[in-house]
Structure 1
Amino acid sequence: MTAVILASGCVAVAGISLIGKMIHEALRNKVSPIEIELDRLPISFDGSRILLITDIHRRKLPKHLLMSLKGQVDWVFLAGDIMEKNVPFSRVERNMRILKNIAPVFAVHGNHDYEAKTVSLDNILEQSDVELLMNSNVRLNKNGDHVWLTGMDYPPYRKRSYPMLPKLPSSEMEMCRIVLVHDPAWINRYSIKPADLTLAGHTHGGQIDLPFFGLIQLDKEYHNIACGLFQWKQPHALVKTATMLVSRGFGYRHLPLRLRCPAEMHLITLRASKVNG
């Protein structure tokens, strides 16, 4: 009997420890630094920094942590799921106030933004000077040079697929291009990847990554692009090396639980390729 009680106690302690770890991963406040080299990045953009945040859902952004980045970031990119259904708009307003005080902010919609009240969200973004990109291009300027940022709007209806990438002026096709999109599966529609850098979220990295069983909550089409950095070599294409970064995201689905997929934001430092230099 004593052995059974001890065993039950050990199981209970292990279960509580595991839940504690999962909550800690889900509520983690961390900015992960990463350097990404791009072949066509202008030399004047070398060292530029992007703060990438995806899948906020219902979380509050960590004000003190993010404000410490003021003056160190050139742009803030929000790759969708800025909120979700039943999140107080006051919380969204607070999050946007923090970000707009760091650097210019650009955003795209995610699926949960459409499931919530998108019109109200868009009003908050407009009032917060956040530029919402809906299948549109914008120039990012620095030191007399520029790159193109394209924001792809999440299709608001399940049966719809993403539209084609909006065209650039013919004289600008040789310029470096960054695509901000919520769903990384967008990249699969292209046999030749059309952007130097694609930034995405949506997957939460799977959120729950079980030993031996893997990503049990993530559709199989995402298993090869669940999170991290991916590259495609295209020697005969306009974009010789296409890169995609998929973030695990800052928020969570349903309960605040993650396992081996801790929450993250990214501080991206862009580097010009040595070939370009």
Structure 2
Amino acid sequence: MRVFLSLLGTGTLVFIYAAFIEIEWLEITTHRLAWDGLQQPIKILHVSDLHFRKVERRLDRTILAAMASLKPDLIVITGDSLDKRSSATSVRDFFSQLKAPLGVWVVPGNWDYWSEMKTQGDNRLPGVLDGLSNIKLLQNEAVPIAENLWLVGMDDEIAGQPDQAKGWSKVPSAAGVIGLLHAPEGVRHFTDPRARLLLAGHTHGGQVRLPFFGPLWLPPGSGSFVQGWYDLRQGTRLYVNRGIGNSLWDIRFLCRPEIAVFELDP
């Protein structure tokens, strides 16, 4: 009986930590990279998998405060901003407060298609973001950000219609590219050697990770990618963000929500 009570007590403490503490415990990771051809350093703030709910979370305010203090030049959001039952009001309120000199750029994820929000079209994001001039949606599209720096944003690998030819069609031959995608398996659309940095989300880092075992489950579209850095080939690296929100269960264990900051140096 004593052993049972001890295990029960330990399990209760772990659940309380996972459901109420770590789930709100934001981690900011910082990464520095050399980028030839830039005229000045650029700070990029990468957020993913916000999974907005009907009610504002305390974490949402923490994220906004962190973003303001970091003063990024560029903000990128790699999909799943919406959830099954997101509130358009909360989403628009959050996004309306995002500002960066080089823009705020968003690509869609699977839940941006699957959300039950009532908007026109399969992808719910355009309807939600309509009228927010500070937010730009990239869907199989490329845009110049600075000299020798382009963004290529791809539609979602699972629910969307990614089009590599369309997405890359405007990119100059000598440009360096940051690729934005949601599910990491979408790296197949970034085989072009101009792709130097790929930013993804979707996996939530596993969300619940056990010591010596790793994640209990990863969503389809994750492939062999979980979190952090992956060298895909010479000159091309992928970073998989652990994301902010949660799916299936509102818990996180050994997998804190993350904002990633990338400092590009000339």
User: Equivalent residue for 1:138?
Assistant: 143
Aligned partner of residue 90 in structure 2, secondary structure: helix
Q: Using the TM superposition, name which of 123-132 and 217-226 deviates more.
A: 217-226
Aligned partner of residue 168 in structure 2, secondary structure: coil
User: Equivalent residue for 1:109?
Assistant: 108
Aligned partner of residue 236 in structure 2, secondary structure: strand
CA–CA separation in structure 1 for the residues paired with 2:179 and 2:250 = 29
Give the partner amino acid of 1:136: E
C-alpha displacement of 1:146: 4.4
CA–CA separation in structure 2 for the residues paired with 1:210 and 1:243 = 26
Measured against aligned partners, the alpha-carbon deviations of 1:41-61 in whole angstroms (never above 9, x if no partner) come to: 32314x211111100002642
CA contact (8 A) 2:75 2:100 kept: no
CA contact (8 A) 1:67 1:98 kept: no
User: Equivalent residue for 2:155?
Assistant: 153
- Asked if 1:248 corresponds to 2:242, the answer is yes
CA contact (8 A) 1:66 1:102 kept: no
Greater relative contact order (CA < 8 Å, ≥ 6 in sequence): 1
CA–CA separation in structure 1 for the residues paired with 2:11 and 2:114 = 34
C-alpha displacement of 1:195: 0.7
C-alpha displacement of 1:152: 0.4
Q: How many residues align?
A: 251
- Any stretches of 5+ residues in structure 1 without a counterpart? 235-240, 273-277
CA contact (8 A) 2:38 2:148 kept: no
Task: Give me the CA root mean square deviation.
Answer: 2.5
1:1-277 alignment runs, 5 A limit: 4=1, 6-23=2-19, 24-38=21-35, 41-45=36-40, 47-58=41-52, 60=57, 61-62=60-61, 63-69=64-70, 72-100=71-99, 104-116=103-115, 117=117, 119=120, 121-129=125-133, 130-141=135-146, 145-155=147-157, 157=159, 162-165=162-165, 166-169=167-170, 172-188=172-188, 194-218=194-218, 222=222, 224-234=224-234, 241-272=235-266
C-alpha displacement of 1:173: 1.1
CA–CA separation in structure 2 for the residues paired with 1:231 and 1:262 = 23
CA–CA separation in structure 2 for the residues paired with 1:102 and 1:18 = 42
TM-score by length of 2: 0.84
CA contact (8 A) 1:58 1:84 kept: yes
Structure with max Cα Rg: 1
CA–CA separation in structure 2 for the residues paired with 1:18 and 1:26 = 12
Identity %: 26
CA contact (8 A) 1:27 1:256 kept: no
Aligned partner of residue 80 in structure 2, secondary structure: coil
- Any stretches of 5+ residues in structure 2 without a counterpart? none
TM-score by length of 1: 0.80
Q: Closer, same or farther in 2 for the Cα pair 1:169/1:12, shift >3 Å?
A: closer
CA–CA separation in structure 2 for the residues paired with 1:77 and 1:147 = 14
